[in-house]
Amino acid sequence: MAECATYGTVAVLQINNPPLNVLGHDVRSQLMSGLQQALQDKAVCSIVIMGKGQTFTAGADVKEFGTEKVFWEPTLHSLVEAVSASTKPVVTAIHGTTLGGGVALALASHYRLADSSAKMGLPEVQLGILPTCGVTQRLPRLVGLQTAVRMVTSGQTQSAQQALTAGLLDKVVTDDLLKKAVGFARSVDVRGLEARRVSSWTVPGADRAEDVLDAARKTLVRRSRGAIAPLTALQAIQASLLPFETGMKREAELGRYLWTSWQAAALRYAFFAERTVKRWHIPRNKNVNYRTAEPMDIKSVGVLGAGTMGVGITISLLQAGLKVVLTEVNKAQLDKAVSLIQRSLEGKSGGKPQPMQLRATTDYSQLREVDLVIEAVFEDLALKKKVFQQLDAVTNPRTILATNTSGLDIDQIAAATQRPDKVIGTHFFSPAHVMRLLENIYGRHTSVETIATAMQLGATIGKVGVLVGNCPGFVGNRMKGLNFTEAMFLLEEGAEPQDVDKALEEFGFAMGPFRVSDLAGGDVHWRRRIQAGLTTEHGPPPYTPVLYRQGNRYSPLADMLCMQGRFGQKTGAGWYRYKSGSRTALPDAEVHRLIHKHRQDHGFQRRNISSQEIVERCLFPLINEGFRILEEGLATGPQDIDVIFLLGFGWPRHTGGPMYYADKVVGLGNLLQSLEKYRAYHPRSAHWVPSSLLRKMAAQGTSLSIWAAGSRL
Ligand SMILES: CC/C=C\C=C\CC(=O)SCCNC(=O)CCNC(=O)[C@H](O)C(C)(C)COP(=O)(O)OP(=O)(O)OC[C@H]1O[C@@H](n2cnc3c(N)ncnc32)[C@H](O)[C@@H]1OP(=O)(O)O
């Protein structure tokens, strides 16, 4: 856990708690007793604290949060204070990615040394808590308010060089950190100790504090979208302008407030959910799971189609060091794609040319020897089937064939080949080289090896892979579609697009559904509705009522906009209008007139709709569909659905995701009641019929977390 050794007059305490040296109770106890021994040992003049293995420490053990163990003595706070009060100089030697409590220990030490490849960060706000243990008081004294605010409120890591420049480190070294740290510790003098205690310093640039804090507050109010931790952290940093002890009291108060908040619990859940999804199984056959599966070794990947998705996917693969064969029949499109890929990768490497493992070709037969192909052609079932037939003919029979589709039937695509066991859906989110989610979809015949390979490929390219079953829209788009449907009904009943967007943005989404639709292009979903027979390019299909399709209430408003060529930002007009070259959504009188006339034509009585109703009507049907998905065994557990929404659809992280939000914030009984209430008003919308899983859980008074704990391997 923590090992102690002496090198002449230097005592070295080394954390050894693989994989990440988190500071659980055992580690804290051993570090504390090592420190006390070193203080008592007359032969020891200075002390080094460092870590073995891949990192100094990733901070507190998050698994202890929510349990009593985190408060067992020595707490992290006691340990940090003991380091700070040490009568012998303490040098912290940092390597790997040092986070949270690790930075707190370093700040309380008298000297800070790091390996040149080290990174340091304070991710606490991402867990909904405050960096306590004096971090918000010592950091501004060491690096100034501006850097402290940036580090604490963003949670982003700093490189060793950045930390050195900011004053967070005293020295950066290369090679043999132990030897260099011991040498450094030998050179420091106990006589200078008092002056090295950061707590006795004042915050540099305090005369400009008000301007810095005001500017930060404005930015955070806009960016945090309802998350309370960043703004609370700012208040704690402000307290560093007070005497140290007063500031520490304020930090403790604010720390307690966040520690007990529901948002901290939700963010902790999100942290573990992202890691839980890699433990997948197939609900209808639990023998097919991450433990039994053996992935194929993938070294080369073919990407078919060099449009926006193909380019993003190629960049992700190349960044992970894989060989890529990019295939596109249109030579001009291929050349454009290659230049985009080159520019993107040059940007990443700071302008240095990277050895590119990319072969670009118009010739399908070049895919013959790759281990896996990702098809990224236009979202059209007939086209994809044709492409898969060709791929089946040209590629090696052991090659896995993956389709990047956002909702088409994997089984139909697989049926176009002689190897349905080697066909899988890999749904990337746009921009594919930026978005961390990869929704992997198994079909009826997809083999366990193919599933394991797709999940492994996701991890290799730095994505969070979530495995789901095959159904129209899969998990993400199947649920998300209901949100947009209900948003349009709200327009029919009296809301304006900006009212709906504002309510959902206040809930925490970066953009409301109409702004998202304008960004993505309304034509994409319009074509899908046409393919599904819900509408035609000229209006409702013959003999179809305007407000009902396929047995359900239907709003034709989006179709009406598309028929006018209003596809969103790319055409300068959609649900909003856009000035040339601008992405700012401006309310448009044309749209208001169109909605108004539609209401009049169909006898809708306009009424005022509250933000609460907007949020409930847009989100509750989607959550209800999530319960259906669990019931149908299309996702391993609620975490999988939550991760899809957190990483793929901008669901506000501080609410934990749709299923967590329903379970822990709304309450399943309340959710059921609301669904019943809206169902009574909107009997022609099947999405208000509560799922039987939700009914059962609400009746039993059980929770999704209990159900999930029982179902997960
Ligand atoms: C009262 C006041 C008390 C507390 C004060 C707390 C201050 C803090 O220190 S808060 C914690 C700050 N630290 C973090 O938030 C660390 C988060 N971890 C990461 O960002 C990453 O894990 C990483 C360090 C960058 C490493 O990434 P990677 O190499 O991709 O590994 P992972 O798959 O993420 O993790 C491997 C394994 O470790 C578990 N884990 C990671 N960090 C922690 C942690 N801090 N505590 C407990 N467990 C942790 C992670 O869940 C993985 O576990 P599996 O079982 O393999 O899923």
**Assigned token pair, 652:** 């506000």
For ligand 1, atom 29: residue with the closest CA: 20
CA of 22 to the centre of ligand 1 (A): 7
Check residue 353 and give its pLDDT.
Answer: 46
For ligand 1, atom 56: residue with the closest CA: 275
**Both 57 and 186 in a single domain?**
yes
CA of 149 to the centre of ligand 1 (A): 22
CA of 295 to the centre of ligand 1 (A): 26
**Both 321 and 368 in a single domain?**
yes
**Both 255 and 288 in a single domain?**
no
CA of 533 to the centre of ligand 1 (A): 48
What is the tally of helices (H) and strands (E) in the chain? 28, 21
Task: Specify the CATH number for the domain of residue 131.
Answer: 3.90.226.10
Pocket probe mutation, ligand 1, options 15, 17, 20, 257, max atoms within 8 Å of Cβ:
20
**Both 198 and 300 in a single domain?**
no
198, 230, 260 - which closes a domain: 260
Q: Which residue, 380, 370, 599, 619, is CA-closest to 485?
A: 619
Residues in the ligand 1 pocket, defined by CB under 6 Å:
19-20, 22, 58-63, 70, 76, 97, 99-101, 123-124, 127, 132, 275
CA of 712 to the centre of ligand 1 (A): 21
CA of 626 to the centre of ligand 1 (A): 28
442, 475, 508 - which closes a domain: 475
**Both 437 and 295 in a single domain?**
yes
**Both 77 and 181 in a single domain?**
yes
What's the Cα-to-Cα distance from 130 to each of 100, 353, 377, 378, 401, rounded to whole Å?
10, 41, 46, 46, 46
CA of 591 to the centre of ligand 1 (A): 48
Pocket probe mutation, ligand 1, options 67, 99, 277, 463, max atoms within 8 Å of Cβ:
99
Angstrom distance (rounded) from CA 447 to CA 410: 13
**Both 233 and 295 in a single domain?**
no
Residue 74 lies in a domain: yes
The phi, psi pair for 22, rounded to 5°, reads -65, 150
Q: Which residue, 542, 490, 481, is CA-closest to 516?
A: 481
Residue 104 lies in a domain: yes
CA of 281 to the centre of ligand 1 (A): 24
Residue 392 lies in a domain: yes
Pocket probe mutation, ligand 1, options 62, 72, 156, 259, max atoms within 8 Å of Cβ:
62
CA of 98 to the centre of ligand 1 (A): 10
CA of 454 to the centre of ligand 1 (A): 25
CA of 270 to the centre of ligand 1 (A): 12
Q: Write out the residue range of the structural domain in which residue 170 sits.
A: 2-260
Q: What is the dihedral of CA 2, 87, 193, 77, to 10 degrees?
A: 50
Angstrom distance (rounded) from CA 138 to CA 245: 11
CA of 56 to the centre of ligand 1 (A): 12
**Both 74 and 109 in a single domain?**
yes
Q: Which residue, 81, 128, 132, 131, is CA-closest to 109?
A: 81
475, 509, 535 - which closes a domain: 475
Residue 582 lies in a domain: no
Pocket probe mutation, ligand 1, options 253, 275, 463, 464, max atoms within 8 Å of Cβ:
275
**Both 246 and 298 in a single domain?**
no
**Assigned token pair, 269:** 């859940």
Angstrom distance (rounded) from CA 146 to CA 156: 14
The predicted complex's ipTM stands at 0.98
> Crossing angle, helix 229-238 and helix 135-143, to 10 degrees?
60
Check residue 354 and give its pLDDT.
Answer: 56
What atom of ligand 1 comes closest to residue 100's alpha carbon?
Answer: 9
For ligand 1, atom 1: residue with the closest CA: 70
Burial of 394 (0-12, 13-18, 19+ CB in 10 A): middle
**Both 95 and 27 in a single domain?**
yes
Helix, strand, coil share of the chain (percent; to 5): 50, 15, 35
Angstrom distance (rounded) from CA 255 to CA 77: 12
Number of domains in the chain: 2
What atom of ligand 1 comes closest to residue 54's alpha carbon?
Answer: 29
Radius of gyration, CA atoms only, the chain: 28
For ligand 1, atom 32: residue with the closest CA: 275
Check residue 694 and give its pLDDT.
Answer: 97
Residue 29 lies in a domain: yes
Burial of 569 (0-12, 13-18, 19+ CB in 10 A): buried
Task: Specify the CATH number for the domain of residue 453.
Answer: 3.40.50.720
Residue 520 lies in a domain: no
What atom of ligand 1 comes closest to residue 77's alpha carbon?
Answer: 2
For ligand 1, atom 21: residue with the closest CA: 58
Residue-wise DSSP of 437-463: EEEEEE-TT--HHHHHHHHHHHHHTT-
Residue 548 lies in a domain: no
Check residue 92 and give its pLDDT.
Answer: 98
Q: Which helix (H) or strand (E) holds 263?
A: helix 262-276
CA of 531 to the centre of ligand 1 (A): 45
What atom of ligand 1 comes closest to residue 278's alpha carbon?
Answer: 57
**Both 66 and 165 in a single domain?**
yes
For ligand 1, atom 52: residue with the closest CA: 275
pTM of the model: 0.94
Residue 558 lies in a domain: no
**Both 212 and 296 in a single domain?**
no
What atom of ligand 1 comes closest to residue 126's alpha carbon?
Answer: 15
What atom of ligand 1 comes closest to residue 124's alpha carbon?
Answer: 10
For ligand 1, atom 28: residue with the closest CA: 20
CA of 435 to the centre of ligand 1 (A): 21
Q: Which residue, 395, 382, 412, is CA-closest to 304?
A: 395
The low-confidence residues of the chain, meaning pLDDT below 50, are 351-353
